[in-house]
Structure 1
Amino acid sequence: MNLRQLEILRAVIRHHTTVAAAEELALSQPAISNALKAMEAQAGFTLFERVNNRLFPTPEAMTLYEESEAIFTLHARLENRVRDLREQKTGHLSIVATPPLAYSIIPPTLSGFLRRRPQTRMFFDVRRYEGIIEGVLGNVAELGFALGLSDHPGIAHEVVHTGEMVCVMPARHPLADHDVISARDLAGFPLIGLERGTRLGEAVRESFRQADADFQPTVEVRYCNTACVLASTGVGLAVVDPFSPRQSGPDLVVRPFTPCTTVSAYVLWSEARPLSNLAKTFRNEVRNASRSLAGCVDAIGAPSLAASAERG
């Protein structure tokens, strides 16, 4: 006896007529009657007794009804699970990100994502670049987010935002009234440098070489958000990615920096396994959220290079 036959049996038991059962199951009355005859032939015993044009289940039929309850309960749960997966109401998603993205674009995106999916569970970790690669390749995280990218076998990637490095300083710094800060402008001022050998650290050093400007940092740090914290307290000026200053308060002034130093934010995932629908949706939401960062420098109080050029 298959699942459809059991479904018909249960409907007839509930309604006591083939007409009502047919209406519930969107079948014809003859189809219900023929199904009952086929079931009785297969079972080898009577399933219903007719009394005053109503069908009453035999004890054997009631046994089948009761024993099949667990099957239909499980089936209903499975259908609900399919619906939840389709609508992305439940599930588990693991992500890792480097600090500039973990403390800027990811939190508001994550907040909205989970607010619309209260039953979804997340794993979120902040790691260095090397940890992002290891996490994605090691199946610790389905998605990774990082600034800059080298080619890694087995890693698929997509650019979610491209911006330019900016200069940060305390609000009362002598250069705070400049629309744009050049590498040469920083001569003679204490400088907070990014660690040598890191992607952003080398990018900043290259921009100073292009400008034929000295790069002699007073303090070196690994992370841009650390540089922003130190800059806001007067330790020195720093050239950082466009994401990290968004974590700082009003004591930090942000200005465009020349020569222009491009930095891209990437989302990474493993080529060895397909992304879940939940991961694809989160990737799309991060991509959409990153569009609001196109005017990142403007949003935190500094004119863009293009605007400055127009005024010039």
Structure 2
Amino acid sequence: MNVRQIEAFQAVMASGSVTRAGERLSISQPAVSQLIAQFERSCGFRLFNRQGSKITPTREAEALYNEVQRMFIGVGQIARVATALRDQNWGSVSLGAFPAIARRVLPEIVWSFCEAHPDTRFRLESMRSRSLIDAVAAQHVDFGLSILPGDRPEVISAHLHRLRGVCILPAGHHLADRRTIHAHDLADEDFVSLGPQDHSRFMIDRVFDELKVARRSRIEAGQSETAFSFVAAKAGVAVVDPISAFNNDDPRIVVRRFEPAVEFDIWLIRPKAARSFNLVDSFVSFTLERLDLFASTLNAA
């Protein structure tokens, strides 16, 4: 018993004729008859009753045909999945990203890709860069976007972009009319700091420490989104990454350029030992193209 014999049997049952089965398979009528005879010998029972040129399937053939049909449906599904894999239209992708980009930028990128690639599934996790690097190293996610380069031998890091931090102030603040806020301008101002676990906190503090500018830092916010809420409540001013401030539509907050530059890097983190997967590679390329456009918009602001 082989696949060609099963194909001949399926074609005869579906078409009701040896001649039409031959046309469907692009082989001669005698070749179909020979395949059917071989298949009957393999099965050990008769599949068709023959009356001249007319053939009628036996009850055994009808029972067997139901199983053959299920097999062909499975083969068809395999073919469809293979085609979808080739076209990057099937499969799952998992990624981790630092909170600001996970909330503000990636959802639109992921959904745009989903719309163009049906039958794909995504898992997006928001996590701090240290945890993200560990997750990529352990291959819990396919790749990550981090503000820090990977410091583990299991990952590969590629620098993508460098963005300038911004100053956010309450609307109506006495500095809000300025286009650029210098660190000296914030001397003795109420200041909302990021939490000590946030790498950005150290970069921002270093700027003020080097210039010997004293602030009134009474509030710490675990994430930049929380810092926005405090600034909106007029608890103080803050310096944050530009992604968090992108398309700010809160009338209680104004966003201004900050000097001297506090620079935020974006790194692509991928596992070194991961096997290549076309869908992941395609989505990474798609994401990097969108991030290029996004970074150009931010840097032009």
Pair in the same fold by TM > 0.5: yes
1:232 Cα deviation after fit: 2.6
- Asked if the contact 1:137/1:270 (under 8 Å) is kept, the reply is yes
Q: TM-score, normalised by structure 2?
A: 0.83
Q: Distance in 2 between matches of 1:102 and 1:51?
A: 71
Comparing 46-55 and 245-254, the one that deviates more: 46-55
Match of residue 264 from structure 1: 265
Comparing 277-286 and 250-259, the one that deviates more: 277-286
Structure 1 regions of 5+ residues with no counterpart? 305-312
Give the aligned length. Answer: 299
Match of residue 71 from structure 2: 71
Match of residue 274 from structure 2: 273
Q: Distance in 2 between matches of 1:38 and 1:158?
A: 60
1:31-110 → structure 2 map (5 Å cutoff): 31-36=31-36, 38-39=38-39, 47-58=47-58, 61-62=61-62, 64-110=64-110
| Seq. identity, % | 28
Match of residue 285 from structure 2: 284
Letter of the 1:131 counterpart: S
Q: Distance in 2 between matches of 1:282 and 1:163?
A: 23
Residues 134 and 296 of structure 1, relative CA distance in 2, 3 Å threshold? same
1:168-187 → structure 2 map (5 Å cutoff): 168-187=168-187
Structure 1 residues 144-176: Cα deviation after superposition (integer angstroms, max 9, x where no partner): 222222422211233444311111112222222
Match of residue 135 from structure 1: 135
- Asked if the contact 2:142/2:271 (under 8 Å) is kept, the reply is yes
Match of residue 294 from structure 2: 293
Match of residue 308 from structure 1: none
Comparing 1-10 and 273-282, the one that deviates more: 273-282
Q: TM-score, normalised by structure 1?
A: 0.80
Residues 123 and 297 of structure 1, relative CA distance in 2, 3 Å threshold? closer
Letter of the 1:257 counterpart: F
- Asked if the contact 2:189/2:216 (under 8 Å) is kept, the reply is no
Letter of the 2:75 counterpart: H
Letter of the 1:71 counterpart: M
Q: 3-state DSSP class of the match of 1:7?
A: helix
- Asked if the contact 2:180/2:259 (under 8 Å) is kept, the reply is yes
Q: Distance in 2 between matches of 1:122 and 1:295?
A: 26
Residues 157 and 34 of structure 1, relative CA distance in 2, 3 Å threshold? farther
Q: 3-state DSSP class of the match of 1:174?
A: coil
Match of residue 9 from structure 1: 9
- Asked if the contact 1:48/1:55 (under 8 Å) is kept, the reply is yes
Letter of the 1:230 counterpart: F
- Asked if the contact 1:101/1:146 (under 8 Å) is kept, the reply is no
Q: Distance in 1 between matches of 2:151 and 2:71?
A: 50
Q: Aligned Cα RMSD in Å?
A: 3.0
1:150-299 → structure 2 map (5 Å cutoff): 150-196=150-196, 198-209=198-209, 212-218=211-217, 219-246=219-246, 248=248, 249-297=250-298
Letter of the 1:292 counterpart: L
Q: Distance in 1 between matches of 2:199 and 2:88?
A: 36
Structure 1 residues 34-70: Cα deviation after superposition (integer angstroms, max 9, x where no partner): 5345545656666545434344445554454344333
1:196 Cα deviation after fit: 4.2
Structure 2 regions of 5+ residues with no counterpart? none
Q: 3-state DSSP class of the match of 1:181?
A: strand
Q: 3-state DSSP class of the match of 1:8?
A: helix
